[in-house]
Amino acid sequence: MNSNLSLRHNHACSICAELVGKNNTLLSQLFMDEGIVSAVARQTKNFAVIPSIGALVAGHSLVVPFSHEPNVLLYARTNGLLEELVGLLTQYTMPTRSSHLLFEHGSTSIGNSLCSTEHGHLHVVPLGTEELTLVLAELKSRGAQPIPFSMLPKRASKERDFIYACDLKAIGGETLAYVLPAAGVPSQFLRKIIASVIGSNNWNWKIEPAKSLVKATIEQGFELKIRKSFVAARA
């Protein structure tokens, strides 16, 4: 772990707003409760697990860096945080029996990302084994290249914009990861593929924030952080 990292924040970023405890976050807007700051399942010094607004399934979460960075995996590798990141993923998903799809639509530079949220975020989506296989097969059919997970950071770093996806088991070298150059690929590209596989039309989180699924996700071990003034008022 690199203890000398300086953290960047963006006052206009919705994820930064949750991480630093600002008013009127996307989560507080969703539940129409301005006392809510954020919900966190697990965190380390440099990363946190938060619920995904527009969850595709119950348990759909995001692993995000505390620093405002354009990606997760490359940030972790560049700063010697891969072990910390992998450890967080393993600890967070270990209690469940589900298969987990990991995916990221990232960029190598701030200000150029085609993803709808610029702050780097790694999706963790519980899926059935067959559903996960179908998602990866669809991604491969669209030109994604299968590579060992250990080679993923180096391969992704060659693109300004990239998408990668894998079974969580790829972290242990048991399966392959799939990487796709994402120049010109529309926002929420992989969300749309996943929604199609699971038989849902609600892939666009900006239109359908999936309040009931976010609530179900939070109930799976997330700690709601409430603003102190509201804690006193509710006591």
SS3 129: helix
pTM of the full predicted structure?
Answer: 0.90
CA-only gyration radius of the chain, Å: 17
- Hey, what are 196's tokens? 């199609």
Which among 68, 45, 156, 40 has a CA at the least distance from the CA of 104? 156
Q: How far apart are CA 147 and CA 158, in angstroms?
A: 14
Tens-digit pLDDT string for the chain (235 aa): 444 567 888 888 989 989 988 888 899 999 988 888 889 999 999 999 999 999 999 999 999 999 999 999 999 999 999 999 999 998 888 666 678 999 999 998 776 555 557 899 999 999 999 999 999 999 999 999 999 999 999 999 999 899 999 999 898 888 899 999 988 898 899 999 999 999 999 999 999 999 999 999 999 999 988 865 444 444 4
